[in-house]
Amino acid sequence: MATATTGLDRREQAPEEPELVTLSLEEMGPLGDTMAPFEGGRINVAGGIPGEEVVAQIVRYRRRKQRHVSGIVADVLKPSPYRVATPCPYFGPCSGCQWQHIDYSHQLEMKRDAIRGELEGYEAVLGTAVSDTVPAPDQFGYRNHARFTVRHSGKLGFVNRITRRFVDVDSCMLMAPGINEVLGKLDGHSQETSQLSIRYGINTSELLVQPALHNDDIPLPTGQTHYREALLGRTFRIASPSFFQVNTAQAERLAELVRQRLELQGDETLVDAYAGVGTFAVLLAPYVGRVIAVEESEAAVKDAAVNTLGLDNLEFRQGRTEEVLGDLGSRPDAVILDPPRAGCDPAALEAVARWEPRRTVYVSCDPASLARDLDVLVRAGLRVIEIQPLDMFPQTYHVECVATLEPG
């Protein structure tokens, strides 16, 4: 604030000097930041690597009526051997990429180690085999979905998760070229909304932009209700509220990996729980006798009705997964669990354990909820054969996991 001694009014006040401290960085935290001792406690530090000594800017803020302290690396005094130059000019201020400064091969190791770390908290799954992370074919330019914040000027960008400062971006290196092309046409012309979603079909070139915009300077249609994407030669309709994997190339690898782990013989009854728009159900229907797909979202089920046309051995049941699984009527041979980040409802896990399918494959984007749920399934009588990490999200701490189980 301005004071009498400075002679500055509120509009001319000098910027505050940043609070800089030297920190020794320790293990990775849950959001892809390193942890470090500070003021008698521990804080998360963005942009670091375990083992480094850095100068960090301290950010003090209030969120949800609570005081928080975080750090952001400002200078590296003792670099890790895994530190690399970052190609993106927005790395750091943007915060969308947490690990762009880390060698990619080491990113893969850290994702595997993060899964192992979560398993250590549960005795029933302690020591479960975790395979090497399957790398992504593209380390940049892989995302088919972007969400942008829009400023009053119509400029598009992202908000830093620590500082909450807006960063205007001309393009994002994680996004598919088609999304960046659309970003360039919308930037500066989108004042009528505060949030903007762009979805792009990597294999179809189809586009979805929400919400609908009415500025005559925008040279492309907006407000589409759905778009289409193709995986392994099969086309899927995806509505605006429906979930779909953001990495198209790795989604194809994921589907193939799930099929291999299920060891299908051709005559099984397969249950695809949390089926979404029907991705696994549709792609695996040719390899089984019957598929029962379960999904609660009305929008996703409407998409699935289109996506499953021509597949006579596929049945979609709309409802809560735990309720449908508990009332299947007969024992399934194989089950796919692909829940949201929060994991499975306990009743759904109980139903799977009671049915004891020959193979269960649990697909997860959150190692913490995966470890918790695997612990429940193992204590209920199943056995984890293997956990296979798959990198769907290069340059970030996020990781996809495929856990394979069988009766114990």
SS3 21: strand
In single-letter form, the type of residue at position 347 comes to: A
Under a CB-based contact definition with an 8 Å cutoff, are residues 54 and 43 in contact?
Answer: no
- Asked if 344 is an active-site residue, the reply is no
Which of 67, 45, 44, 55 has its CA nearest to residue 19?
Answer: 55
Which of 373, 289, 270, 248 has its CA nearest to residue 328?
Answer: 270
End-to-end Cα, the chain, rounded Å: 66
Tokens describing residue 150: 């829009």
Give the active site residue among 94, 172, 365, 401: 365
CA distance 186 to 133: 37
CA distance 254 to 275: 14
In single-letter form, the type of residue at position 249 comes to: A
Which of 401, 369, 368 has its CA nearest to residue 386?
Answer: 401
Tokens describing residue 293: 């797909």
Under a CB-based contact definition with an 8 Å cutoff, are residues 290 and 267 in contact?
Answer: no
In single-letter form, the type of residue at position 45 comes to: V
List residues with catalytic annotation.
Answer: 365
